[in-house]
Structure 1
Amino acid sequence: MVALARTPSSGERLRAVDGFLAEAFADLAKHDDRLRGVAVEVRFDRGVAHLTGEVADADQLRLVRLLVGRFDGVLAVWSRVRVGGREPVVVDLGCGAAKQYPENLGLDLRRADGVDAQADLSGPLPIADNSVDVIFTVHILEHLIDFLALVDECHRVLRPGGVLHIMSPWWGHVNAVADPTHVRLLDVQTIKGICSRPPGTPRWYPLHAGCDGASIFADMTPLAPDAPEPAPSHMARFFD
């Protein structure tokens, strides 16, 4: 029997890594002039960086995301940050009773505490074009036979510069097959496939992608139809 390459890190190690990442960002913020006066708080939870606070403009937010995402051990960079005084529009798809941030707009097929509107995620989203800043799909794609349809819908409703956050069980972990409602298996390479689709389909730029041995993570932003493809050097950072 061939052993799988990745094994999940222990909770103790993950907490230690979170502590290291917090110290590393605090040191960066102290010495990097680009971060002076930027009122963003960064909290690390099992390798996921959570950004909250406020920035002056979208360029500042992109800079913070970039710098945090460069730390070894960061799996994803999730954010709910005010930009120029405006609260972001953040949608939590399939959230159930567990929204990633309490203020998010929660959409789910079934009613539950935290669900603000009911929606069938296998069909069109009841959201206007270019109206959302951030979308969370946490443990959702593995439940959909055609999850690309939902990914395309996310592309439609996100504003330019918006971000789609994905978290799903890694195909090599028992959690991927233990739940009989899971109908798809995903890998980090699946994200590469999403970001390498042919012309004429909604296109994405990967901001971050990773795997902790139990789950895969990806942060993606929509590409305009005439935007260049992601550079091979950038794709090589995340994908085989």
Structure 2
Amino acid sequence: MVVLTQSAPSAERLRVVDGFLAEAWADLARHDERLRPLAVEVRFDRGVAHLSGEVADPTELRLVRELVGRLAGVLGVWCRVTVGGRTPVVVDLGCGATKQWPGNLGLDIYPAPGVNAVADLSGSLPLADDSVDVFFAVHILEHLIDFLPLLDECHRALRPGGVLHVMSPWWRHVNAVADPTHVRLLDVQTFKGICGQRPPGAPRWYPLHAACDGASIFADLTPLPSDAPPPPPTHLARFFD
């Protein structure tokens, strides 16, 4: 039996793809009059779009996120944009000594130079309801036997319109099994269940983006209110089988 797997892109291909994405975004920004007045910088790094700058209101940020995410080759849209003069609160989960961006609030179970507060990510997070704009869970979920309680805590702490950024090894890549501390295997389809198949009353998520590059999976999720309907099948079909 032959098993076909998706190969991870080389560093050179990722560099070339980043160049293509930068050119495509610059062309779109020049020709879309909605984007011209917005002071948002978009930088591409290994297929991930990094947004920074400032907008007047959340609708402008949603517009930029959506348009960037439509570009072929974008794996995720990571955002640190000031909205209405308020600097976003960004939390790095399990950051250790290295945060995704300087200035993020770092939470980890062990003290380290980048950790602002020691917290067990399998339990309650020391964060108030509706207090966080962005969570990073980069190479964290694969270390938790049950990561749904952590997602529920992120849902609780995120402000409306906030985003949870996830990055984890793809289950078919050697990185997923090479680390003996990995206890879970994930696929893009895992997030289909998180967004569309949770039991009634459980916190629900809307997928802003989900992708795989052959080595890692990426997901950008925003919380849905408890009374909101689940994401429509037409939207889920954009990312999931």
Determine if the TM-score, normalized by the shorter chain, exceeds 0.5.
Answer: yes
In the alignment, what sits opposite 1:7? 7
Contact 1:97 1:114 survives alignment (8 Å) = yes
In the alignment, what sits opposite 2:216? 215
1:88-99 paired onto structure 2 within 5 Å: 88-99=88-99
Amino acid in the other structure paired with 2:90:
V
In 2, the alpha carbon distance for the partners of 1:93 and 1:188 equals 20
Query: Any idea what the Cα deviations from partners look like across 1:17-46, whole Å, max 9, x if unmatched?
Result: 000000111111111001011000001001
In 1, the alpha carbon distance for the partners of 2:95 and 2:174 equals 22
In the alignment, what sits opposite 2:230? 229
In 2, the alpha carbon distance for the partners of 1:46 and 1:131 equals 30
Contact 1:4 1:172 survives alignment (8 Å) = no
How far did residue 141 of structure 1 move?
0.2
In 2, the alpha carbon distance for the partners of 1:2 and 1:48 equals 31
In 2, the alpha carbon distance for the partners of 1:51 and 1:3 equals 37
How far did residue 107 of structure 1 move?
0.5
Query: Any idea what the Cα deviations from partners look like across 1:30-79, whole Å, max 9, x if unmatched?
Result: 11001011000001001000000101110000000000000000000001
Query: Equivalent residue of 1:24, what SS?
Result: helix
In the alignment, what sits opposite 2:240? 239
In the alignment, what sits opposite 1:136? 136
Amino acid in the other structure paired with 1:214:
A
In the alignment, what sits opposite 1:179? 179
Amino acid in the other structure paired with 1:215:
S
In 2, the alpha carbon distance for the partners of 1:161 and 1:189 equals 23
In the alignment, what sits opposite 1:85? 85
In the alignment, what sits opposite 2:33? 33
Amino acid in the other structure paired with 2:157:
V
In 2, the alpha carbon distance for the partners of 1:23 and 1:62 equals 21
In the alignment, what sits opposite 2:199? 198
Query: Any idea what the Cα deviations from partners look like across 1:4-25, whole Å, max 9, x if unmatched?
Result: 3311011101100000000111
Query: Any idea what the Cα deviations from partners look like across 1:88-112, whole Å, max 9, x if unmatched?
Result: 0000000011111101101111111
How far did residue 224 of structure 1 move?
0.6
In the alignment, what sits opposite 1:151? 151
In the alignment, what sits opposite 2:188? 188
CA root-mean-square deviation: 0.8
Contact 1:93 1:108 survives alignment (8 Å) = yes
Query: Equivalent residue of 1:238, what SS?
Result: coil
In 2, the alpha carbon distance for the partners of 1:83 and 1:151 equals 24
Query: Equivalent residue of 2:34, what SS?
Result: helix
In the alignment, what sits opposite 2:70? 70
Structure 1 residue runs of 5 or longer lacking an equivalent are none
User: Deviating runs (4+, > 6 A) in structure 1?
Assistant: none
Query: Any idea what the Cα deviations from partners look like across 1:174-220, whole Å, max 9, x if unmatched?
Result: 00000000000000000101002121100000000000000000000
In the alignment, what sits opposite 1:109? 109
Contact 1:53 1:81 survives alignment (8 Å) = yes
In 1, the alpha carbon distance for the partners of 2:146 and 2:39 equals 40
In the alignment, what sits opposite 2:59? 59
Structure 2 residue runs of 5 or longer lacking an equivalent are none
In the alignment, what sits opposite 1:124? 124
Normalised to the residue count of structure 1, the TM-score between the two structures is: 0.98
In 1, the alpha carbon distance for the partners of 2:199 and 2:119 equals 29
Tell me how many residue pairs correspond in the alignment.
240
Normalised to the residue count of structure 2, the TM-score between the two structures is: 0.98
